[in-house]
Structure 1
């Protein structure tokens, strides 16, 4: 049965994205992915002005994500949940591949859609390596199976330590079309990998079908 909420996802959702295999082999200094600055943080999602959001689109699976500001142009695969309740992840060997939570909201329809991808793998940077460098106002385009495109505008980029991950803020239901894009961040330890997650918050600002 299709779920319109995402809170079944455990707080360890992106843990499997965050082993930091590349940094483990090469050290942290020249290779650490960018992290968002405090200036890119935003208000709670329920305070975002609904007037700036485009009307919701009908459900349609997404097929591609494009983020011109950080040169992302990648296919999307459907993701489910692991036995532990965390979001499954794309195959690590496919560096230019992201995934979306297909039991939840599809990007463009009313609610909160979830997209996740690796920051790196054993060979180097992966699809969302530069996600933490996004700025407010950046555009994210999602190409949909129905032939349309859902365009989202970023209103916050934040980083959270794993122990303080705000499930409700990130995964909670929204009264308008919202998007979250998630990867690893929050510092790196050779013992445990990345210590948290970068999360991009965006709202639908235009859509075609």
Structure 2
């Protein structure tokens, strides 16, 4: 399938375009092939064949001073700075490099935490170097607090509303990356059994909403 040309659309549509096949996301041990962007947000579906774009989606306000700098999950004793993740030159979604497995990343094509929309944080479960930042994410419970501190030093609190483990070939794109009225947070890592190449076959998704002031 030839690669289409993407127009500059609103942030939510661009995010869906970039990530509609996040079933391929492998923030986990071993080789980590990234997700590939599908044709358009409107045509993307679980059965649509992915194709890399020839132009990047519209950038978010990732350069804003309120960009996230750190994530903390007190109940799991997780604390990590946040690197910025975008798209690779071929249109695939970046994940933190294996050698920085203890560092999570913020996908800059999504919402800025604290603003309306879904902010997406990605972290490894394990890498070839061993245990990684989101290794214990599977143990998080509903009601747990997730804190995100921005570059201004402002800390925002989110409350976990649920989690699910899904097969990578049936990733719930709209539920994870679709538009939301309020400020929401999604944390994503790998989970489940391993395939014949040693890659986990599932993704663990944690959903959280911003706590009212």
What's the TM-score once normalised by structure 2's chain length?
0.73
Name the residue aligned to 1:10: 20
Report 1:130-169 matches (<5 A): 130-169=136-175
In structure 1, C-alpha distance between the alignment counterparts of 2:139 and 2:27, rounded to whole Å:
18
Cα RMSD for the two superposed structures: 2.2
In structure 1, C-alpha distance between the alignment counterparts of 2:96 and 2:168, rounded to whole Å:
20
Report if the CA contact (8 A) 2:22-2:168 is conserved.
yes
Greater relative contact order (CA < 8 Å, ≥ 6 in sequence): 1
In structure 1, C-alpha distance between the alignment counterparts of 2:20 and 2:88, rounded to whole Å:
10
Report if the CA contact (8 A) 2:85-2:95 is conserved.
yes
Unaligned runs of 5+ in 1: 23-57
Q: How many residues align?
A: 171
Per the TM alignment, residue 59 of structure 1 is displaced from its structure 2 partner at its CA by 7.5
Instruction: State whether structure 2 residue 79 is matched by structure 1 residue 73.
Output: yes
Per the TM alignment, residue 95 of structure 1 is displaced from its structure 2 partner at its CA by 2.3
Per the TM alignment, residue 83 of structure 1 is displaced from its structure 2 partner at its CA by 4.5
Per the TM alignment, residue 12 of structure 1 is displaced from its structure 2 partner at its CA by 3.0
Given candidates 184, 194, 197, the residue that maps to 2:190 is 184
In structure 1, C-alpha distance between the alignment counterparts of 2:184 and 2:157, rounded to whole Å:
10
Per the TM alignment, residue 75 of structure 1 is displaced from its structure 2 partner at its CA by 0.4
Name the residue aligned to 2:35: none
Unaligned runs of 5+ in 2: 1-7, 32-63
SS of alignment partner, residue 21 of structure 1: coil
Report 1:193-208 matches (<5 A): 193-206=199-212
What's the TM-score once normalised by structure 1's chain length?
0.75
Per the TM alignment, residue 14 of structure 1 is displaced from its structure 2 partner at its CA by 5.6
SS of alignment partner, residue 7 of structure 1: helix
Name the residue aligned to 1:172: 178
Name the residue aligned to 1:92: 98
Deviations along 1:49-103, one digit per CA (max 9) or x if unpaired, are: xxxxxxxxx9710000001111110000111023554421111111220111112
In structure 2, C-alpha distance between the alignment counterparts of 1:83 and 1:196, rounded to whole Å:
26
Per the TM alignment, residue 3 of structure 1 is displaced from its structure 2 partner at its CA by 5.2
Deviations along 1:155-191, one digit per CA (max 9) or x if unpaired, are: 0010100111110001101000000000001322242
SS of alignment partner, residue 98 of structure 2: coil
Report if the CA contact (8 A) 1:98-1:115 is conserved.
yes
In structure 2, C-alpha distance between the alignment counterparts of 1:98 and 1:14, rounded to whole Å:
18
